[in-house]
Amino acid sequence: MHQHEMSTCSVFDGAVFISSEMKLTEDFKRDTHPNKVNLAGREYVGEHGHTTWLPLVRKIKQQIATDPTLFPEYPPILGIPEFTQRATELALGKDSPAIVESRVFGIQTVGSTGAVRLGAELLRSWYCSSSSWSGPILLSSPCDDSLTGTFKAAGIEDVQHYRYWDAESNDVCVENMVHDLENAPERCVVVLFASGHHPTGAELSQEDWKRVAEVMMKRQLFPFFLMSAQGLCSGSLEQDAWAVRHCVSLGLELLCAQSFSYSFGLYGERVGHLLCVLKQNMLAVQSQAEKLVQTLWSCPPMEGARVVATILSNPAHLVEWQESVKGIAEHCMLIRERLRERLRLLGGPGHWDHITKPGGLYCCFGLNAQQVEFLIKRKHIYLLPHGCLNVSAINSRNLDYVAEAIHQAMHSQL
């Protein structure tokens, strides 16, 4: 019986197969070469060769699992209030004028992707009183394809790019960036990267940020910050949030998508936060956000946000966690220095400042497509386009192999 409708067409007949962005990870898993290395992953790895729980996070998770005062329940639509308060203070500092003047609110989201999506939908609905705003929004070039996809999926069709990373210097070219912002349409939304840029890792200095903020104000551009790894770049929570706090101090309105994945080692828990600093109209925007959340995921997952809120609320935990974050940042910098030293010793032309100038997880070698393919196919070293890679996956056991392979890729005629 169940066959007799099979001949009619499927309602999904038009669907075409699209290659997954996860293909690299899948290829890596299938690769059986003993020396294979995955430098394209999204997690902080560390010396063990695999991710590990922060001991404090593990402890709090266990406490929550046995806490007799916690009953099953739905969280509020906008998330756990204790979490949103602490996440806001973490980004802006407790004495932020936006907090003092009660013109900021936060929304717990499903990871930072959820924060970007929600922020995009908020902008689309209410940007400049237009109910059909569809851009332009300016993203960095290069940037994650999935970031572009998220804004477009939210109905922001007009996605443009400002020049950010410069292949020649393997660094930010702030001249190009400022030039493009100067020439952007007035009042357009600009996506900025506050604690490390994925996938290049290239960072702006405080002097650079001052120039960028000045243009933002002059041209009435709206900053949408991504702060994906606060603390992991410089080791200091304050320093990594400097650009966001600077814009707030200038009186700018802004959105900021925060991730707690890297800094707490909470990936599968999906802990994100959308910070909204406004001039006025806060309760109205909050109610609009609530309505949008109800159509996206109804309410966010509690587990990870409870862990983060517990740690950020307790002074002793806070100190212990800050030490861990600093340790991760220092470990990444140590690997960068060791990698630079190896490459320097292997000789050949080229400078290596781009390896140690930025902090955080990512750095970029500016390799061409052939060089990247050589590393993946011939050396079983998986990395992102342009030779961007996650330095935390390099350890004592694979350092020499990785350095030699990169050296070969750069200096052979490929």
Rank residues 200 and 261 by Cβ distance to its own copies and give the closer one. 261
Q: CA 103 to CA 275: how far, in whole Å?
A: 11
Touching its own copies, residues 184-213 (CB under 8 A): 187
For the bound state, the minimum distance from the C-beta of residue 221 to its own copies, rounded and expressed in Å, comes to: 10
For the bound state, the minimum distance from the C-beta of residue 110 to its own copies, rounded and expressed in Å, comes to: 4
Rank residues 172 and 247 by Cβ distance to its own copies and give the closer one. 247
Q: CA 143 to CA 384: how far, in whole Å?
A: 12
Question: What is the maximum span of the chain, computed from C-alpha positions, in angstroms?
Answer: 72
Among 30, 32, 66, 207, binds its own copies (CB under 8 A): 66
Among 32, 34, 65, 349, binds its own copies (CB under 8 A): 65
Using rule CB under 8 A, residue 95 touches its own copies: no
Touching its own copies, residues 97-126 (CB under 8 A): 97, 110-114, 117, 121, 123, 125-126
Rank residues 11 and 345 by Cβ distance to its own copies and give the closer one. 11
Using rule CB under 8 A, residue 222 touches its own copies: yes
Using rule CB under 8 A, residue 15 touches its own copies: yes
Rank residues 172 and 293 by Cβ distance to its own copies and give the closer one. 293
- Among 64-72, 175-183, 323-331, 384-392, the segment contacting its own copies (CB under 8 A): 64-72
Using rule CB under 8 A, residue 393 touches its own copies: no
Q: Which alpha helices (H) appear in 1-142, and where do they start and end?
A: 23-30, 55-66, 81-92, 97-100, 111-126
ω before 142 within 30° of 0 (cis)? yes
Using rule CB under 8 A, residue 77 touches its own copies: yes
The DSSP call for residue 231 is T
Rank residues 142 and 366 by Cβ distance to its own copies and give the closer one. 142
- Among 149-157, 308-316, 321-329, 344-352, the segment contacting its own copies (CB under 8 A): 149-157
> At 258, which amino acid appears?
Q
For the bound state, the minimum distance from the C-beta of residue 183 to its own copies, rounded and expressed in Å, comes to: 20
The order of strands in the sheet holding 254-259 is: 104-110, 271-277, 254-259, 222-227, 189-193, 137-141, 159-163
**Main-chain dihedrals φ then ψ at residue 181, nearest 5 degrees:** -70, -40
Touching its own copies, residues 338-377 (CB under 8 A): none
Among 252, 372, 403, 406, binds its own copies (CB under 8 A): 252
Q: CA 330 to CA 320: how far, in whole Å?
A: 15
Rank residues 188 and 233 by Cβ distance to its own copies and give the closer one. 188
Q: CA 124 to CA 231: how far, in whole Å?
A: 31
Q: CA 361 to CA 107: how far, in whole Å?
A: 26
- Among 83-91, 203-211, 244-252, 371-379, the segment contacting its own copies (CB under 8 A): 244-252
Structural contact between residues 245 and 96, judged by C-beta atoms closer than 8 angstroms: yes
The DSSP call for residue 75 is P
Using rule CB under 8 A, residue 86 touches its own copies: no
Using alpha carbons, list the distances in angstroms from residue 47 to 278, 329, 391, 399, 410.
42, 13, 11, 11, 26
